[in-house]
Amino acid sequence: MPLYMDVHNIEGGVSVADVAKAHEADLATQDRHGVDYRHYWVDEKAGKIFCLVEAPSADAANTVHREAHGLVADEIFEVSEH
For the segment 19-40, what is each residue's pLDDT rounded down to a tens digit?
999 999 999 999 999 999 999 9
What pLDDT was estimated at residue 81?
84
Average pLDDT, stretch 6-16?
Answer: 96
What pLDDT was estimated at residue 50?
98
CB half-sphere exposure, 67, CA atoms < 13 A:
15
Q: Please name the residues in contact with 66: beta carbons below 8 A apart, sequence gap of 6 or more.
A: 72
pLDDT band at 82 (very low <50, low <70, confident <90, very high): confident
Model confidence at 2: pLDDT above 90: yes
User: Can you tell me the distance from the alpha carbon of 11 to that of 38, in angstroms, rounded to the nearest whole number?
Assistant: 24
Assign domain 3-79 to its CATH superfamily: ORF SCO4226, nickel-binding ferredoxin-like monomer (3.30.70.3090)
* pTM of the complete model beyond 0.85: yes
Ordered alpha helix ranges (H), the chain: 16-29, 58-68
